[in-house]
A and B are shown apart, each in its own frame.
Chain A
């Protein structure tokens, strides 16, 4: 792959990511937002491949697209009476929001590009990262790995506990 094709494909995925993220934010329809978020996640996963983190890209597609997006769509379906109300959503304090968006984004880009001088190493991450992740998980990061698994278990039990339905026969103390 030559350098020009690499650059063109990078800009393509960057444009997909940024424009679909803008559509998520500016669209009034929640369903459109959710499906546009799908393209954002795929674009971000493609950027991860460009950053030679292929395992993270596959994990991103599996967890975000397969898990979180389905969960969000389930939430959209559950919290709107589908036949009765429309799926539109209102906005509030739009002017401070736009000021915040422009100032934060502009300030961050100015700081990153103009002010900061990043020192890039001569040895960059190359090739596949899967084997290195395996070694790191089982050596340096074994304690965070175990802790995050326990946290995930607790979060899932907590979510199931919070969202459970009350049994119809049992009266709650209200």
Chain B
């Protein structure tokens, strides 16, 4: 009962493991490229929770700084990935990742 009444490091690790699994599930099973991208965002958020949890219970600032850089990289990744998806849509007229099987039409 002590595990449920006091919030510790393990609680954050469990939440981040669940988020990571769900994001991986989205990447593996969904056909729409935008939902795959949402799964990647979930995975990045899970990694961020881990960084901040370890930083909190370690007392240092390394995890906090690294999570800030992760957020910036996630923004850059989302912009580039959506530009690529829009290009795919203009070329193939679909964003179904399982039906895109050539580099150019």
Contacts and interface: CB of A to CB of B under 8 A. Distances in A.
Interface of A: 3-4, 6-7, 10, 14, 17-18, 21-22, 24-25, 30, 33-34, 37, 40-41, 44, 47-48, 50-53, 55-56, 59-60, 63-64, 67-68, 71-72, 74-76, 78-79, 89-94, 96-98, 100-102, 104-105, 108-109, 112-113, 118, 120-125, 129, 132-133, 136-137, 140-141, 144, 148, 151-152, 155-156, 158-160, 162-163
B32 to A, nearest CB: 4
Contacts of B76: 151-152, 155-156
Interface residues of B, number: 72
B100 interface: no
Contacts of B56: 51-53, 124-125
If over half of B's interface residues share one DSSP class (helix, strand or loop), that class is named, otherwise mixed; here it is: helix
B102 interface: no
B18 A30 contact: no
Contacts, number: 240
B76 to A, nearest CB: 4
A50 B61 contact: no
A98 B84 CA distance: 28
Contact of A152 (B17, B72, B95): B72
Interface in B8-41: 8-15, 17-26, 28-35, 37-39, 41
Q: Kindly list the 4 A-B residue pairs having the minimum CB-CB distance in the complex, ordered from nearest.
A: A105-B21, A155-B76, A97-B29, A162-B83
Chain A, interface SS category: helix
A32 B20 CA distance: 20
Given A91-B31, A108-B21, A159-B80, A68 B75 contact: yes
A23 to B, nearest CB: 10
Nearest to A112: B13
Contacts of A64: 41, 45, 71, 74
Nearest to B70: A56
A17 B72 CA distance: 21
Q: Which of A37, A78, A113, A125 has the most CB of B within 10 A?
A: A125
B19 A17 contact: yes
Contact of A14 (B15, B48, B55): B15
Nearest to B69: A148
Nearest to A97: B29
Contacts of A122: 59
A136 B55 CA distance: 14
26 contacts: A3-B5, A6-B7, A21-B23, A37-B38, A44-B49, A51-B53, A53-B67, A67-B75, A71-B78, A71-B79, A75-B37, A75-B85, A78-B89, A91-B29, A100-B25, A104-B21, A120-B9, A121-B57, A121-B58, A123-B59, A125-B56, A132-B64, A144-B65, A151-B73, A155-B75, A158-B83
